[in-house]
Amino acid sequence: MTDEDPVVVAKRVDGGDSADLTEIADLAAAAGYDVVATLSQSRTEDAAYHFGEGKIDELAALVAETGAQAVIVDNRLGPYQTYNIGGKLPEGVEVIDRFTLILEIFGQRANTRKAQLQVELAELRYELPRAEAKTSLAKRDERPGFMGLGEYDESREQDIKAQISRIKQELDAIADKEETRREQRRESGFDLVALAGYTNAGKSTLMRRLADDLDVGENEDLHPDLDPTAESEDRLFTTLGTTTRRADTGTRDVLLTDTVGFISDLPHWLVESFESTLDSVYRADLVLLVVDASEPIAEMREKLVTSHDTLYERNEAPIVTVLNKIDRVDDTELDAKRDALDALAPNPVCVSGLTGENVGELTDRIEAELPDWREERLLLPLSDEAMSLVSWVYDHGNVRDEEYTGEEVIVEFTARPAIVERARAKAGDVRASAESPHAAAADSKSVESESVESEPSVDR
């Protein structure tokens, strides 16, 4: 398939309202297809064709008439349904389901090793049950002369399983590295805030609005959408990898991470394949759940539910709901939406990432919702060691006051609890070495070497 290939999109719903084809058409466009016609049906699932057989004939005629190169179906098709529908269509016309389409988009956008591995993993997970089905068919039909086929399929199945476990290992290693990096960043006094939400909600736009100029991520050059001069695009899944930038919210040093958008109705194997992408959400100190407030209430509700479903099991952080794009909504409408969605989105912050309206209120909220820092006051005998501890405290916390009394220094600061603990331990060492300079020399040596082992990345 090449860009701008004409396609027909089709969708079946069990009954009731006619099918909404907006999202599948947007997804098709995001993958680079040209949607030339749509077709929907309201009826129960047909085992052989998914749609009614008559509807498939209609589809075939529509494809012939429009010259479509593929049919994109917004339903979960079984392998046999895919095969049967294909059999009715003109020669060479592909049948693509929702998940294959999403994978195709991800494949196009995957420009980091991690994203590529995740796409590969999802493709293999998609293929595995299909290979298993083939194997069992081949076994059932096993006759002399067909042995070769059966053996081939079986080995394909084994091959897929081996590849899956190899990719999982590599992804685990990447996830470990990222976890270590998160911990290092926390130790350095940063709070980790993640932007999450449905695709196209405006996460990347808001990220640019909140972020300082400084990039701290690893793949900036691979994320053209984070270039401050580049526009976010009005299409689905603009962002696939995660990118981290520094943001100044006042007293706290925040690292803000932009993430892949959520979307409804994804099978678990696809969600799982992208799970480690969402680790930066699950393991954040605070999650900003971004919602497009310019959409109708029903749609906002559905997307909020999808977002909460995705966060539900693994998220550890407090969530702040951000109603974005308020430049497109008047006050009365916004109030009505806030009321209607109160249970799903309590006490939201309403902003426009595009115009910057109310973004100050959002940074205040970030400060208020981040886990509390503790206050601490250290009294140290004046020495070189004490001075290096004071400068360590400056690096890792927020110093309120620093006072010298000739023989002593008093430093008052706030910091995350782990940092306060470390500062106390260090202060103990400083005092011990002041009391007994000789013993302290040996003492501080052992402390030094210990800290080299346990905290290789910090304060050296």
Ligand X SMILES: Nc1nc2c(ncn2[C@@H]2O[C@H](COP(=O)(O)OP(=O)(O)OP(=O)(O)O)[C@@H](O)[C@H]2O)c(=O)[nH]1
Under the rule (CB under 6 A), what is the footprint of ligand X? 199-205, 232-234, 236-239, 261, 324-325, 327-328, 352-354
Q: Of 359 and 432, which CB lies nearer to ligand X in the complex structure? A: 359
CB of 247 or CB of 420, closer to ligand X? 247
Contact status, residue 69 vs residue 4, Cβ threshold 8 Å: no
- Which residue, 82 or 280, is less far from Mg ion as judged by CB? 280
Cβ burial, residue 173 (10 Å; 0-12/13-18/19+):
exposed
Q: Which is nearer to ligand X, 253 or 327 (CB)?
A: 327
Q: Cα–Cα distance between 49 and 199 in angstroms, integer? A: 31
Closest by Cα among 139, 167, 171, 140 to 153: 139
**Smallest distance from the beta carbon of 237 to Mg ion, in angstroms?**
8
Least distance in angstroms from the C-beta of 96 to Mg ion:
24
Per DSSP, the three-state class of 9 is strand
Bridge partners, residue 190, by sequence: 253
Q: How far apart are CA 387 and CA 408, in angstroms?
A: 11
List, as residue ranges, the binding site.
Answer: 197-204, 239, 258-261, 324-327, 352-354
Minimum CB separation from ligand X for residue 287, in Å?
Answer: 14
Closest CA to 262 of 203, 315, 206: 203
Token pair, residue 332, equals 């009365």
Minimum distance of ligand X from residue 328's CB (angstroms): 5
State how far the Cα of 173 lies from the Cα of 176, in Å rounded to an integer: 5
- 299's contact among ligand X, Mg ion, none, with CB below 5 to 8 A by partner kind, is none
Residue 352 contact partner, candidates Mg ion, ligand X, none, CB within 5 to 8 A by sort of partner: ligand X
Q: Which residues are annotated as a binding site for GTP?
A: 197-204, 258-261, 324-327, 352-354
- Provide the binding-site residues for Mg ion, judged by CB under 5 A: 203-204, 238-239
Residue 31 Cβ vs ligand X, minimum distance, rounded to whole Å: 13
CB closer to ligand X, 30 vs 59: 30
Please give the Cα distance from 203 to 194 (Å, whole number).
10
Q: Give the nearest residue (CB) to ligand X.
A: 261
Helix ranges restricted to H, 113-230? 113-140, 147-187, 203-210
* Residue closer to ligand X (CB basis): 150 or 261: 261
Q: How far is the CB of 426 from ligand X (least distance, A)?
A: 41
To ligand X, the closest distance from the beta carbon of 233 in angstroms equals: 6
Task: Give me the long-range contacts of 21-28 (CB less than 8 A, separation at least 24).
Answer: 21/74, 23/74, 23/236, 24/72, 24/74, 24/98, 24/101, 26/235, 26/236, 27/72, 27/98, 27/101, 27/102, 27/105, 27/236, 28/72, 28/101
* Rounded least distance, CB 204 to Mg ion, Å: 3
Q: From the list ligand X, Mg ion, none, which binds 38 (C-beta under 5 to 8 Å, kind-based)?
A: none
Question: Smallest gap, in angstroms, from Cβ of residue 225 to Mg ion?
Answer: 6
Q: Which is nearer to ligand X, 20 or 234 (CB)?
A: 234
Strand partners, 42: 13
Name the binding residues for Mg(2+). 204, 239
Residue whose CB is less far from ligand X, 41 or 199: 199
Burial class (CB in 10 A: 0-12, 13-18, 19+), 222: middle
The binder of 354, among ligand X, Mg ion, none, by C-beta within 5 to 8 A per type, is ligand X
Q: Phi and psi at residue 120, in whole multiples of 5°?
A: -60, -45
Question: Closer to ligand X at the Cβ: 329 or 409?
Answer: 329
Q: Which does 150 bind (CB under 5 to 8 A by kind): Mg ion, ligand X, none?
A: none
Starting at the edge strand found earlier in the chain, the sheet holding 94-97 runs: 34-42, 6-13, 70-73, 94-97
CA distance 323 to 254: 21
Q: Coil, helix or strand for 450?
A: helix
